[in-house]
Amino acid sequence: MRLLVIGGTSFVGRTIVGDALGRGHEITTFNRGLTGKDIDGVEALRGDRSTDEGVQLLAGRSFDAVIDPGGQVPAHVLRTAQAMADSAPFYAFVSTTAVYQAWNTASLDESAATWPGVPDQDGDPADLEKLRVHKRGCELAVEQTYGLDAGLVARAGSIVGPHDNLGQLPWWLTRIAEGGRMIAPGDPGRGLQLIDVRDLSAFVLDQVEAQAGGIHNVVPDGPNTTMGRLLGDCVQATGSDADPVWVDEGFLLSQGVLPWAELPLWIPDVPDTAGFWAVSGASAKAAGLRTRPFGDSVRDTWQWLRSGGEVRTAPGVPPLGLAGEKEQQVLAAWDARLSEGS
């Protein structure tokens, strides 16, 4: 197939391009050339889809499908989709499960209420405060232009794997590799639901090859690891002597430790987030999603880091992770609390 990939140089897009080339497809990428290098073997076009003039380079070119793995501004996605509507019969967009409004129910499926979005809304792609609304607007841009028969909306969950530009799993791997006593949040049995970028890529390409549209939550159909197993897999992959100290969630919050931002992938187990790690993946599974053992994702991500891989977050995105000094202060306070209770 002749495929146009928007971006294609970072994490999800890079993985899709590499996978597609391996399948024998002819790939053209369209990007500004700012995020990273294009993979060898693609035709690289330089353009900026934030303006009408920026997409003119695509005029007169035909493709079997467009794959848009990173769009965050609805107006940009709408402009791209409209520019390609007559020259590419299928459009695949990688969205996020963050478009759902509520997380208090397990088995949240594609029919659940989403945040309101506007398909022609403009904005700053670095404004992550509006990500959930903007991503829904991007979905609507695809639906408005292509419909769901010729448009795929792949709502990915939390993504891990080699070439990670989010930094969640890499932070845990790097911290655990340092060794010593370290904070482990809450209940080690707390289930997590994470998708390997390579499994996401394979699913998207399978649907593109079949020209199969629709909306899917691209997540394992149920938690595929736990916080305890995640840290254990990190210890095993790194060969570290790290000693995780499981600290009560309420205590962490009382000490000002920020879920997700300071301890990546930690979402407190409270009623409002009861369904955060229990999104229904039944639709994607029925459509052919295959997921690898989570331990493989941990091992391969560590190998990528060891081979020189570096997390390169988007401009304006604050770094993840708990500062070492703060971690030691919280551990000391936890030790004191345990001593008082003994």
326 part of a folded domain: yes
Q: What is the predicted pLDDT for the residue at 318? A: 78
Q: Please check whether residues 182 and 211 belong to one and the same domain.
A: no
Contacts of 86 (CB under 8 A, 6+ apart): none
Q: Please check whether residues 116 and 150 belong to one and the same domain.
A: yes
Residue 96 is inside which H or E element, if any? strand 91-96
Q: Please check whether residues 232 and 178 belong to one and the same domain.
A: yes
Q: Please check whether residues 95 and 137 belong to one and the same domain.
A: yes
Q: Please check whether residues 134 and 84 belong to one and the same domain.
A: yes
Residue 342 has pLDDT above 70, yes or no: no
181 part of a folded domain: yes
286 part of a folded domain: no
DSSP track, 256-311? TPPBTTTBTT-----GGGTTTT-B--HHHHHTT-----HHHHHHHHHHHHHTT---
Q: What is the predicted pLDDT for the residue at 200? A: 98
Quote the percentage of the chain above a pLDDT of 90.
92
268 part of a folded domain: yes
Q: Please check whether residues 31 and 101 belong to one and the same domain.
A: yes
* Model confidence pLDDT, tens digit, residues 208-221: 999 999 999 999 99
295 part of a folded domain: no
- Distance from C-alpha of 139 to C-alpha of 260, rounded to nearest angstrom: 25
What count of other Cβ atoms lies within 10 Å of the Cβ of residue 342?
5
Q: Please check whether residues 241 and 155 belong to one and the same domain.
A: no
Question: How many domains, in total, are found in the chain?
Answer: 2
Q: Please check whether residues 150 and 230 belong to one and the same domain.
A: no
* Model confidence pLDDT, tens digit, residues 61-79: 999 999 999 999 999 999 9
Host domain of residue 317: 168-192+223-273+300-341
179 part of a folded domain: yes
* Model confidence pLDDT, tens digit, residues 89-119: 999 999 999 999 999 999 999 999 999 999 9
Q: What token pair was written down for 240?
A: 């570290």
291 part of a folded domain: no
Whole-prediction pTM: 0.96
Residue 128 has pLDDT above 90, yes or no: no
Task: Write the CATH number for 92.
Answer: 3.40.50.720
In which band, very low, low, confident or very high, does the pLDDT at 313 lie, cut at 50, 70 and 90? confident
85 part of a folded domain: yes
Q: Please check whether residues 157 and 176 belong to one and the same domain.
A: no
Q: Please check whether residues 15 and 139 belong to one and the same domain.
A: yes
β-strand partners of 225 = 192
Interval 267-293 mean pLDDT: 96
Q: Please check whether residues 61 and 200 belong to one and the same domain.
A: yes
In which band, very low, low, confident or very high, does the pLDDT at 126 lie, cut at 50, 70 and 90? low
Q: Please check whether residues 147 and 8 belong to one and the same domain.
A: yes
Terminal CA-to-CA distance of the chain, rounded, Å? 67
